[in-house]
């Protein structure tokens, strides 16, 4: 753009026809954490990693550094199938159309979002030929009649689980109180400092 | 049981873990990925926690309390191998050191689960999950970068060549070696080294890296008897800075 105004010419020429550079970041992987034995796995967030195995290794400290936990697993974000989302006026299950696929049956892990602002929680598995079919079948199995805002399905074979022999990874975690900010009692120390007798 | 021999073993292990933990903590805030920064910092905390547990055992044997043991000795009183005191350099070196040291360390603790000195065997069983993560982390990175790009492979290969003499220094034998083995406290440095070679070969064979002939490499000995590189004293000065200003400081 030609202009005498320096506020215009300081900007670089638009290169809209050029292809964008690929992102110089790794892809993302979703992390699920089990807080206690017997409790369902819950989605906690994502990590960047070059592959599934590295994602598992990095997720362990990123998401289970502080609070006690018994197990984690990870899946590539691209392998998470997401249902339509509702605003709470109806259940997401009502927006999933019946679909009979001819593909051979696989096991899908199903997750439900029960409230906006909460995390997706695992409710169980279904056998289906495709993710949409899995979600449709999940309605009868796990749809309790309550409003569900959103449903996820993941092909179980795409998940990097914690093996039985890896369960020892969190053995000493409950002792690491020094990782918890509240253990430093910062407020108490500040109060003590402010209330100390002036010298 | 020969207490002097036991103390020597505990000191060299505790010093290895304290110095290595401190070096790894220097990556905090500078790691190549946020997630990796957190992982490396967590492992540094684990190492320092493990060294603390060993200094506590030493205190029960009449040695100074953990803080005094960590912060009041000078470099020539430390028994860590030279490997752990080397400056961090670039991440390829830090990863190779992490892999070579933690493979040996996890095997050492695994052998110590059978130690005749019960406090040590109990500690070994307690921390096995931490060591499991440290080796999983190291092996995964080495397999990843050891087969990734020309640059990552050549960087790791160069670091491996530089680091191996120091890594062999881990296994420097003590004059009490026979006593330690005889009283079944520990199987000994030679036995550990043999197991270590098998493990590192197993991981490296899954990459495009090449393990040089270890028999032709002169180990960097001296650390176990207090002979250190010029890098240890500055590390100790920095680590003990707060303690030297105020020994009663609390966090």
Q: Where are the domains of chain A?
A: 24-159
The chain B residue lying nearest A26, using CA atoms, is B33
- Measure A8 CA to nearest chain B CA, in Å: 36
B38 chain-A contacts, CB cut-off 8 A: 61-62, 65
Angle at A166 between CA B100 and CA A58, to 5 degrees: 65
Q: Indicate whether B250 belongs to any domain.
A: no
Report whether pLDDT(B88) > 70.
yes
Report whether pLDDT(B112) > 70.
yes
- Helix axis angle, B91-112 to B128-145, nearest 10°: 140
Report whether pLDDT(A6) > 70.
no
What is the model's pLDDT at position A8? Answer: 61
- Measure A121 CA to nearest chain B CA, in Å: 23
pLDDT band at residue A20 using 50, 70 and 90 as cut-offs: low
B137 chain-A contacts, CB cut-off 8 A: 57
Report whether pLDDT(B235) > 80.
yes
Name the residue facing A61 among B39, B140, B148 (closest C-beta): B39
List the single range of A157-166, A173-182, B185-194 with lowest mean pLDDT: A173-182
pLDDT band at residue B2 using 50, 70 and 90 as cut-offs: confident
Structural contact between residues A108 and A58, judged by C-beta atoms closer than 8 angstroms: no
Task: Report the predicted TM-score, pTM, of the whole model to 2 decimal places.
Answer: 0.90
Contact B133/A60, CB-based, under 8 Å? yes
Q: What is the per-residue pLDDT across B46-76, written as a single tens digit (0 to 9) for each?
A: 999 999 999 999 999 999 999 999 999 999 9
pLDDT band at residue A109 using 50, 70 and 90 as cut-offs: very high
List the single range of A86-100, A107-121, B103-117, B165-179 with lowest mean pLDDT: A86-100
- Measure B32 CA to nearest chain A CA, in Å: 12
Q: Indicate whether B251 belongs to any domain.
A: no
The chain A residue lying nearest B40, using CA atoms, is A61
Q: How far is CA B21 from the centre of its chain?
A: 8
Look up the domain containing B112 and give its range: 3-245
What is the model's pLDDT at position A97? Answer: 84
| pLDDT, averaged across chain B | 96
Q: Does residue B172 come out as left (phi exceeding 0), alpha (psi in the -120 to 50 range) or beta?
A: beta
**At A121, which helix (H) or strand (E)?**
strand A121-128
Nearest residue to B7 (alpha-carbon basis) of B43, B45, B60:
B60
Interface test with B, best of A27, A44, A57 (most B CBs within 10 A): A57
Q: Residue B160: which CATH number?
A: 1.20.1260.10
Q: Indicate whether B192 belongs to any domain.
A: yes
Tally the domains of chain B.
Answer: 1
pLDDT band at residue A180 using 50, 70 and 90 as cut-offs: confident
Report whether pLDDT(A131) > 60.
yes
List the single range of A136-150, B3-17, B109-123, B155-169 with lowest mean pLDDT: A136-150
Mean pLDDT of A137-149: 88
Cα-based distances in Å from B212 to A99, B108, B141, B162, B205: 58, 23, 20, 11, 12
Rounded Cα distance, B176 and B182, in Å: 10
Report whether pLDDT(A143) > 80.
no
């Amino acid at each position: 753009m030609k202009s005498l105004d320096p506020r215009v010419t300081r900007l670089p020429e638009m290169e809209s026809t050029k292809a964008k550079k690929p992102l110089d970041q790794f892809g993302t992987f979703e992390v699920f954490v089990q807080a206690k034995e017997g409790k369902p796995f819950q989605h906690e967030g994502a990590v960047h990693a070059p592959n599934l195995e590295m994602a598992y290794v990095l997720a362990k400290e990123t998401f289970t550094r502080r609070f006690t936990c018994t197990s984690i697993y990870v899946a590539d974000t691209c392998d998470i199938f997401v249902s339509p989302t509702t605003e709470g006026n109806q259940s997401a299950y009502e927006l999933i159309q019946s679909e009979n696929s001819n593909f051979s049956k696989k096991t899908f892990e199903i997750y439900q979002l029960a409230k906006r602002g909460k995390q997706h929680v695992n409710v169980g598995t279904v056998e289906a030929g495709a993710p949409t079919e899995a979600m449709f079948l999940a309605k009868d199995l796990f749809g309790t009649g309550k409003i569900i805002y959103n449903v996820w399905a993941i092909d179980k074979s795409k998940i990097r689980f914690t093996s039985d022999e890896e369960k020892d990874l969190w053995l000493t975690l409950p002792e690491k109180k020094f990782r918890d900010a509240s253990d430093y009692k910062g407020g108490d120390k500040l109060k003590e400092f402010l209330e100390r007798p002036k010298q | 049981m020969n207490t002097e021999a036991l103390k020597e073993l505990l000191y060299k292990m505790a010093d290895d873990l304290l110095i290595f933990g401190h070096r790894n903590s220097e990556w905090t805030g500078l790691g190549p990925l946020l997630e990796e920064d957190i992982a490396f910092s967590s492992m540094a905390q684990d190492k320092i926690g493990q060294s603390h547990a060993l200094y506590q055992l030493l205190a029960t044997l009449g040695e100074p309390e953990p803080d005094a043991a960590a912060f009041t000795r000078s470099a020539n009183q430390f028994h860590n191998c030279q490997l752990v005191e080397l400056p961090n350099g670039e991440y390829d070196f830090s990863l190779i050191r992490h892999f070579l040291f933690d493979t040996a360390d996890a095997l050492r603790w695994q052998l110590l689960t059978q130690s005749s000195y019960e406090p040590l065997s109990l500690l070994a069983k307690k921390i096995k999950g931490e060591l499991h993560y440290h080796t999983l982390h190291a092996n995964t990175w080495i397999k990843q970068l050891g087969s990734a790009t020309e640059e990552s492979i050549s960087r790791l290969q160069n670091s491996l060549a530089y680091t191996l003499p120091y890594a062999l220094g881990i296994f420097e034998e003590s004059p009490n070696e026979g006593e330690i083995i005889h009283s079944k406290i520990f199987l000994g440095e030679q036995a550990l080294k043999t197991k270590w070679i098998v493990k590192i070969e197993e991981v490296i064979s899954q990459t495009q890296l090449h393990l040089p002939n270890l028999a032709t490499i002169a180990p960097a000995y001296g650390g176990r008897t207090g002979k250190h590189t010029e890098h240890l004293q500055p590390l100790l000065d920095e680590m003990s800075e707060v303690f030297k200003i105020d020994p009663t400081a609390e966090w």
